[in-house]
Amino acid sequence: MMKGKNKCPVCGMMVGDTVSAEYEGKTYYFMNAKHREIFLENPTRYLS
């Protein structure tokens, strides 16, 4: 996996821009599709 400049809100690791989702007008990037799915189930848990 290529490291990037975006921080995955689920695991806190730096990631690229391959897997993303928008929430409240902002784009978030994830280590993998599973982290994206986990985030979308309860975004406020990872943004507080």
Provide the pLDDT for residue 20. Answer: 98
pLDDT-based confidence at residue 2 (cuts at 50, 70, 90): low
Domain total of the chain: 1
Q: Which residue has the tokens 């928008």?
A: 22
Residue 45: CA count within 13 A, CB half-sphere:
8
17 within some domain: yes
* Domain limits for position 29: 6-47
Q: pTM for this structure?
A: 0.88
Q: Which two tokens stand for residue 24?
A: 């409240």
Q: What is the pLDDT of residues 3-43, one digit of tens each?
A: 689 999 999 999 999 999 999 999 999 999 999 999 999 99
35 within some domain: yes
Q: Which residues contact 35 (CB under 8 A, 6 or more apart)?
A: 8, 10, 11, 19
pLDDT-based confidence at residue 48 (cuts at 50, 70, 90): confident
1 within some domain: no
3-state per-residue secondary structure call for 1-48: CCCCCEECCCCCCEECCCEEEEECCEEEEECCHHHHHHHHHCHHHHHC
